[in-house]
Structure 1
Amino acid sequence: MKAIVLREKEELSVEQRTAPSPKIGEVVIEVKATGICGTDLHIFHGGTGSTSVSYPIILGHELSGIVIEIGEGVTSLQVGDRVSIDPNIYCGECRFCREGRIQLCDRLQAVGVTRNGGMAEQCAVPAANCHLIPNGMSFEEAALVEPLGCVLHGVERLKLRSGASALVVGGGFIGLLMIQVLKLYGVSPIVVSEPDAAKRERAIEFGASAAMSPREVASSKAWVSLGVCDGFDIVAECVGRQESMEQAVHSSAKGGQVLLFGVAAPGISIPLYPYEMFAKELSVLGSFINPHTHSQAISLIAQKRVNVSSLVTQRFTPEEVPDAMAAYGSLSVIKSLIVY
């Protein structure tokens, strides 16, 4: 089979590999679509993903396809099933798994991070991680279920009320998903902070009440016309940069909740002022992966309550991926997919 293999930091190549065989409890899927995620880019440039990476590895944790081979002990699936993959594999034995906080598993494994993933024509995955998709759902949509599931988990960490104001920092793929999910909860107004004018326009298309440059957002005068006078009740940081995380904290209202959703490099730090947190009674929250949200994400996409397909701006063949990953920062991308 054809596979895109990361052999070392920034050394990606298209190779012929032996097709995988399913182990007990696994199936093999013919991959139809795979998303390129910010986590893939972190790993490509030598960073970590949801957990540590060992080379060589086939990346790709946002994937969908058709079951083509069934392993021993699998009774829930059959050849021909159309599936979306939840990539995260939990041990079920550590204290976090036993407490129901599976995303904090001490022995977390992940398709496309610790084991070969979807940047290949075929991929072996645990049957338990396969979710059937409706006939009306495209494989491209099914590949984007995982990131929506992550956003759903992040939003579920917040205490939301209808009419709460929100600032979404970052108008990229995750920011546009965040807008749509917050709207489902009745959050309004939703303001987006984004330096790129084209992305600001997209944010309005996907339901933002207003989209401003970070400099405009830094001026509280820009909020007044939206009925936001003293900061935002909810701030969702969807970038992972120092300056955007600082903006998120400082833009919150008294009693505000700050969700640091963007994946920051491990060495990044920001100043936190204890008196500000005390005086505002701020809640600053993290969010990690997608526990128990994959089925919900499938349902929201299938019902057209969240639009993911319109966010795809680039589609690559496997042969195009090494050059695309190397040049990714210079591309105007909302979301890209590898299609087979």
Structure 2
Amino acid sequence: MRAAVLRGKQDMTVEVGRPLSALKHGEVRIAVRACGICGTDQHIYHGHPGSAAVRPPIVLGHELAGEVIEVGDGVVGIKAGDRVSVDPNIYCGACEFCRNGRPHLCDRLQAVGVTRDGGMGELCDVPAANCYLLPDEVSDVEGALVEPLGCVLHGYKKLDVRPVSTAVIIGGGFIGQLFLQLVRKQAARVAVFEPVAGKRGQLEALGADDEAAVRAWAGKADIVIECVGRRQSMELAFAVARKGGQVLLFGVSSPETEISVSPYAIFSKELRIMGSFVNPFTHEEAIALIRGKAVDVEGLVSHRFALDEVPQVMGAYPMLNVAKGVIVHGR
């Protein structure tokens, strides 16, 4: 098969004839139709870990959907011809965290597109247990973007969002726009801190307050959601939060990033600080939200790429104005 293979730091090539092993018990083989390019893919491309340690050569791509073309022994409920979205995270089921209801913190976490080949190839083998049937109303691109929406849902559910809440989202990219669509349904007001002026129109169309209101919100937010992962934006999150506020650090930073925060400010404001990691138990709900048009994911896609373009795209991605790029196989 053809696949974009990461061979090392900033070293990716499209290979033809990459071999596939025989399907294992409980696995299915998917003809990938669409695969999102995630910020985590960029972290891995530049030599950082993803949700788990990465050992090249590897085919990246953990946001994927496609058609089942073959099923292995022991597979029930899924057959050839089914369209599926993949939850990439594979848990051991035996460690302390798996056994106490927090499998996403699994000590032996594996993930499609991180520790095993993923969706940046024409074919992908995945456990059938990680496949969710897609209804006809959900497109292949939407199916690929179920995973990031599921991650956002996990973070959103940590927050206490009320009709009187004021919320600030730091970062108006793809993830920030997903949070905006969820938070605006419940909070009284939502502002998005986004330095790129060209994004203001889309953010306001999704329900964000206008730019003048944004500038007036420092220190007044009940809820702050950081979606960037940079030192300055994370420090800003603490400055923007009001007394009794909630701060969700969602953006993925590099492992070396450190921030300066006043413990006294945390104490005196009685801030509630949270992290959010991957997407436990949210994949099915994310599909339902997309199917019911409660959240728009495909309308946020800014670029569509063919498989042969992936190495060049990955190399230039930080310099491109890409809100969300998706690889469409067969494009």
Match of residue 226 from structure 1: none
1:296 matched to 2:297? The reply is no
Which SS does the other structure have where 2:22 is aligned? Answer: coil
Separation in 1, partners of 2:153, 2:8? 33
**1:198: Cα distance to partner?**
1.0
Q: Residue type matched to 1:4 in 2?
A: A
Q: Quick check: 1:169–1:235 contact (8 Å CA) kept in 2?
A: yes
Distance 1:298 1:53, change over 3 A: same
User: Which structure 2 residue ranges, 5 or more long, are not aligned?
Assistant: none
Q: Residue type matched to 2:86 in 1?
A: I
Q: Residue type matched to 2:194 in 1?
A: E
Separation in 2, partners of 1:299, 1:5? 33
Match of residue 51 from structure 1: 52
1:331 matched to 2:309? The reply is no
Separation in 2, partners of 1:39, 1:268? 15
Which SS does the other structure have where 2:198 is aligned? Answer: helix
Separation in 2, partners of 1:61, 1:211? 34
**1:12: Cα distance to partner?**
0.4
Match of residue 5 from structure 1: 5
Separation in 2, partners of 1:175, 1:102? 25
Q: Quick check: 2:97–2:105 contact (8 Å CA) kept in 1?
A: yes
Separation in 2, partners of 1:164, 1:326? 41
Which SS does the other structure have where 1:136 is aligned? Answer: coil
Spell out, residue by residue over 1:172-200, the C-alpha distance to the aligned partner (whole angstroms, 9 max, x if none).
Answer: 0000001001123x112100001100122
Q: Residue type matched to 1:43 in 2?
A: I
Q: Quick check: 2:51–2:114 contact (8 Å CA) kept in 1?
A: yes
Match of residue 60 from structure 1: 61
Distance 1:211 1:122, change over 3 A: farther
1:205 matched to 2:205? The reply is yes
Match of residue 246 from structure 1: 235
User: Residues 84-233 of structure 1: matches in 2 within 5 Å?
Assistant: 84-184=85-185, 186-211=186-211, 222-223=216-217, 230-233=219-222
Q: Residue type matched to 2:258 in 1?
A: S
Match of residue 69 from structure 1: 70
Percent identity of paired positions between Structure 1 and Structure 2: 55
The runs of 4+ residues in structure 1 deviating greater than 6 Å are none
Q: Residue type matched to 2:15 in 1?
A: E
Q: Quick check: 2:32–2:66 contact (8 Å CA) kept in 1?
A: yes
TM-score by length of 1: 0.94
Q: Quick check: 1:85–1:146 contact (8 Å CA) kept in 2?
A: yes
Spell out, residue by residue over 1:275-312, the C-alpha distance to the aligned partner (whole angstroms, 9 max, x if none).
Answer: 11111000110000000000000000000000001111
Separation in 2, partners of 1:97, 1:201? 43
**1:230: Cα distance to partner?**
4.8
Separation in 1, partners of 2:266, 2:118? 41
Separation in 2, partners of 1:33, 1:305? 21
Q: 1:287 aligns with which of 262, 276, 283?
A: 276
Separation in 2, partners of 1:3, 1:211? 43
Q: Quick check: 2:180–2:207 contact (8 Å CA) kept in 1?
A: yes
**1:159: Cα distance to partner?**
1.8
Q: 1:272 aligns with which of 261, 265, 268?
A: 261
**1:22: Cα distance to partner?**
1.7
Spell out, residue by residue over 1:123-182, the C-alpha distance to the aligned partner (whole angstroms, 9 max, x if none).
Answer: 000000000010111000000000000000001111221220000000000000010011
Q: Quick check: 2:219–2:239 contact (8 Å CA) kept in 1?
A: no
Separation in 1, partners of 2:188, 2:197? 22
Which SS does the other structure have where 1:327 is aligned? Answer: helix
User: Which structure 1 residue ranges, 5 or more long, are not aligned?
Assistant: 224-228
**1:271: Cα distance to partner?**
1.2
Q: Quick check: 2:30–2:70 contact (8 Å CA) kept in 1?
A: yes
Which SS does the other structure have where 1:42 is aligned? Answer: helix
Separation in 1, partners of 2:107, 2:211? 40
Spell out, residue by residue over 1:220-241, the C-alpha distance to the aligned partner (whole angstroms, 9 max, x if none).
Answer: xx23xxxxx8510000000000
Q: Quick check: 1:4–1:120 contact (8 Å CA) kept in 2?
A: yes
Separation in 2, partners of 1:209, 1:163? 15
Q: Residue type matched to 1:258 in 2?
A: V
Q: Bigger CA drift: 110-119 or 19-28?
A: 19-28
